[in-house]
Amino acid sequence: MAIDGTPVTTAIAHRESVSERVVLAVASATGVDPLAVTPPLYDVIDPDALDGLFGPADGGGERDSGTVSFQLGGCQVTVDATGAVVAIPTDGRCAGTTQETAV
């Protein structure tokens, strides 16, 4: 994560679900272990619903529209139709921004 606040992009293999990328992005942006992200994702948003909304479309293609934003683990998290996840710390724990993208 960049100290100057520049987004840091990390490529995540397609086998990672959108909900897993959310937790990884928050953990990276705040400098904590993914298992230590609190509250748990399922206390904030339904992981299965998130994966269903932003996972691969029927037929394996990409979705073409939609975003969702929510707070998790001291970050403002935004997921877009491509499955990209951006986590921006909001509680002063660090100055970095993390973007997780599927490859």
pLDDT the model gives residue 59: 72
Q: Residues 32-35: contacts with CB within 8 Å, 24+ apart? A: 32/73
pLDDT the model gives residue 77: 93
Buried b (16+ CB within 10 A) or exposed e, 37-73: beeebeeebebeebbebbeeeeeeeeeeeeebeeebb
Cβ atoms < 10 Å from Cβ of 83? 22
pLDDT the model gives residue 93: 57
What is the pLDDT confidence band of residue 58, given thresholds at 50, 70 and 90? confident
Q: Give the predicted TM-score (pTM) of the model.
A: 0.77
Bridge partner list, 7: 97
pLDDT the model gives residue 13: 54
Does 65 have pLDDT greater than 70?
yes
The residue that leads in pLDDT, 82 or 22, is 22
pLDDT in tens, 25-57: 999 888 899 999 999 999 999 999 999 888 777
